[in-house]
Amino acid sequence: MIKLTLIPLLPLLGFLINGLMGNRLPRWIVSTIACGLPALSFLITLILFSGLAANGVPLTETLYSWAALGTLNVDVAFYFDQVSAVMCLVVTGVGTLIHIYSAGYMSHDESQPRYFAYLNLFLFFMLMLVLGKNMIVLFAGWEGVGLASYLLIGFWYKDPEKSAAGMKAFIVNRVGDTGFVLAAFLIYFYAHTLDFQAINSYFATANLPVSTMNLIGILLLIGACGKSAQLPLHVWLPDAMAGPTPVSALIHAATMVTAGVYLLSRANGVFLQAPGAMEVVIWGGALTAFLGATMGLTQYNLKKVLAYSTMSQIGYMFMACGLGSFSAGMFHLYTHAFFKACLFLGAGAVLHALHGEEDMRNMGGLYKKMPFTFYTFLAGSLALCGIPPFAGFFSKDEILWSAYASSHGGSQTIWLIATVTAGLTAFYMFRAIIMTFFGTDNVPAKLKHGIHEPPFSMAIVLLILGVSSLMAGFIGLPGVIAEKFGLSSPFFNFLTPVLGHHAIRAGLTEQTELMFMAISIIVACSGIFLSWLFYSRNPGWSAAIKKKAGGIYTAVSQGYYFDAFYENVIVKSMDILSESVLYNIGEKLLNYITIIKAGGSARFGGDLLSRLQTGSVQAYVLYVLAGLALILWWGVTNV
């Protein structure tokens, strides 16, 4: 029964081998170890998953007791139920693919062993996060992925901008982690346990005041927002693109940033009792989805377009969780992992061919030279835009339908925001495709001769992910379609024991659902059409609109000045606080008290006492005598 523990431990072993001895091993051994051990983890996950799918009994493995403090017992325990099984499959599956891709992508890098060591370390922590049975083990993984993310964003640490991006990600995440820890304190205060199953069952029957539940929910949400780059803690994600592209694909698209969604699903028992917090989750998710998509419209950096898109898609997942459709959120997480990884790796292939050029204004016309990359990129984009039968259609449609029909706060407004966002998504994705692969060839002359299709190890991964972007959605067909054709939705059936059914308002017909489906397809297609119109057919139009929008355009392209706000208000006020208040008042006063006053009196006392030190032995004998006499006198009078 040690199988479950092996899943996270194998990548850790890879980290230890490559981290300690990687520089002395030949490169092919390093990459074989780094790809092989996660692949083994994936295999074990598959075996355990098939067992779970057959009998539906979750697995628990307790390694040892981490801390026993009175009534608080923290075990290092792993738990493998339906939700963690899905996450585990995504993490090990996509993770292994990206490791294989990295073997090609990083083959020329001088610190390739360090890269693979970090990547394996990331997988270890991520699997610990996913499999953690209680909040403490999950939190250890949660912090660990933050560390791995920091190490990998700043992987090329010689560039100060890149290491600064790593630090930014780390520090912004701390804000979220504070929320997480406070939530854990409150949960322990009320439930006297940190085990997720116990927490969920406790809160289901606890009847605590709604305000308490909302507070716990909001604190958990703050934690999730930090890790998942949701408003207002999203600022680190675009900067995180400084890391190597496979890292962006694995950590900042497919797995780590979706940990917030996983946390919300894991703690669904808490959220279902906290209607106010759920409302905040819905609106936070909807706003992030919309604003992220608008920011994506204005970027010229290919990877940053994808970063904002990731943020926006995770907004969708949060929205689904807020609407009580946790399984729809998990489904989008799962399809998103495939198509977003596919897009990032496709972008990586372009960057690889252009020697690191990321600006789309210096691309164009790459279709003729890299048709294979283009087709996989296209598959990922169509999935992201929600064009049937690509995977993203099924998952996004499920969320759009919940946005309208959920009995947990579904409304026309939410649905409208989500649908407009879907249109924007289609628009910015095809803007990126047109600027990169079509249109005029703006590639600088010195980069032109090197353009090539990716090597085999990268191409095979692109192919697998491209095909998955097409196929992955079929396991979660919407209920209405599944009924029509007599099919089932294994994904949702699988998750129902843990995450429950979607709560749908009464009185909605099948026709309504089909109509909404049609609308979302039309919106996505018109987004694509508009971007063709603006960027391919009449490139002048986009420039004209840009000019007309003026200040609004600048605001959007600057990310709505979130960074400037944090820099000028929060960081500046901290500076002022520490300089004027803490330095001038605090430190000077403290210096006066401790150094000038206390130091002076100590010196004075020392001066006095040193008079006793005459150097004459006979004086010392007298002191001893006097001391002895005192002790004797005290002894005689008191005993």
Partner 1 sequence: MDRYQFLTILAGLIFSLGLLGVVLRRNLLVVMMCLEIMLNAVVLSFVSFAVRGQTLPGIAMTFFIYVAASCEIALAMAIVVLLVKRRGSLDLGAHQELKG
- Chain CA centroid to CA 517, Å: 29
Q: Are 319 and 414 in contact (CB under 8 A)?
A: yes
| CB 618 to partner 1: min, Å | 5
Quick one: tokens of 450? 């090197």
| CB 580 to partner 1: min, Å | 45
| CB 631 to partner 1: min, Å | 16
**The residue type at 101:** Y
In the bound state with partner 1, the residue whose beta carbon lies nearer, of 574 and 628, is 628
| CB 637 to partner 1: min, Å | 20
| CB 629 to partner 1: min, Å | 11
184-223 positions binding partner 1, by CB under 8 A:
none
What are the phi and psi torsion angles at 75 (to 5°)?
Answer: -100, 145
Q: Are 306 and 253 in contact (CB under 8 A)?
A: yes
Size of the site for partner 1 (CB under 8 A): 13
| CB 620 to partner 1: min, Å | 10
| CB 614 to partner 1: min, Å | 6
Residue 338 CA neighbour count, 13 Å, CB half = 28
In the bound state with partner 1, the residue whose beta carbon lies nearer, of 356 and 615, is 615
Question: 10 Å Cβ neighbour count for 544?
Answer: 12
Site string for partner 1, 270-309 (x = CB under 8 A): ----------------------------------------
In the bound state with partner 1, the residue whose beta carbon lies nearer, of 594 and 614, is 614
What residues contact 439, with CB distance under 8 A and at least 6 apart? 364, 365, 535, 536, 539
- In whole angstroms, give the CA distance from residue 298 to residue 154: 25
In the three-class reduction of DSSP (H, G, I as helix; E, B as strand; rest coil), residue 489 is classed as coil
In the bound state with partner 1, the residue whose beta carbon lies nearer, of 157 and 620, is 620
Question: 10 Å Cβ neighbour count for 509?
Answer: 9
232-261 positions binding partner 1, by CB under 8 A:
none
- In whole angstroms, give the CA distance from residue 368 to residue 143: 44
| CB 617 to partner 1: min, Å | 6
598-637 positions binding partner 1, by CB under 8 A:
609-618, 621-622, 625
What are the phi and psi torsion angles at 79 (to 5°)?
Answer: -135, 130
- In whole angstroms, give the CA distance from residue 178 to residue 390: 39
In the bound state with partner 1, the residue whose beta carbon lies nearer, of 1 and 609, is 609
What pairing do the DSSP bridges indicate for beta strands 59-69 and 72-80? antiparallel
In the bound state with partner 1, the residue whose beta carbon lies nearer, of 471 and 621, is 621
The per-residue b/e assignment along 272-307, b for 16 or more CB within 10 angstroms, e otherwise, is: bbbeebbebbbbbbbbbbbbbbbbbbbbebbbbbbb
In the bound state with partner 1, the residue whose beta carbon lies nearer, of 57 and 632, is 632
In the bound state with partner 1, the residue whose beta carbon lies nearer, of 586 and 605, is 605
- In whole angstroms, give the CA distance from residue 431 to residue 424: 10
| CB 600 to partner 1: min, Å | 19
| CB 612 to partner 1: min, Å | 7
In the bound state with partner 1, the residue whose beta carbon lies nearer, of 110 and 607, is 607
In the bound state with partner 1, the residue whose beta carbon lies nearer, of 551 and 635, is 635
Using alpha carbons only, give the angle 228, 229, 231 rounded to the nearest 5 degrees.
Answer: 120
Site string for partner 1, 563-602 (x = CB under 8 A): ----------------------------------------
Left, alpha or beta for 146 (phi > 0: left; psi -120 to 50: alpha)?
Answer: alpha
The full length of the chain comes to: 639
DSSP letters, 585-598, are IIIHHHHIIIIIII
In the three-class reduction of DSSP (H, G, I as helix; E, B as strand; rest coil), residue 133 is classed as coil
In the bound state with partner 1, the residue whose beta carbon lies nearer, of 69 and 612, is 612
| CB 599 to partner 1: min, Å | 19
List residues near partner 1 by CB under 8 A: 609-618, 621-622, 625
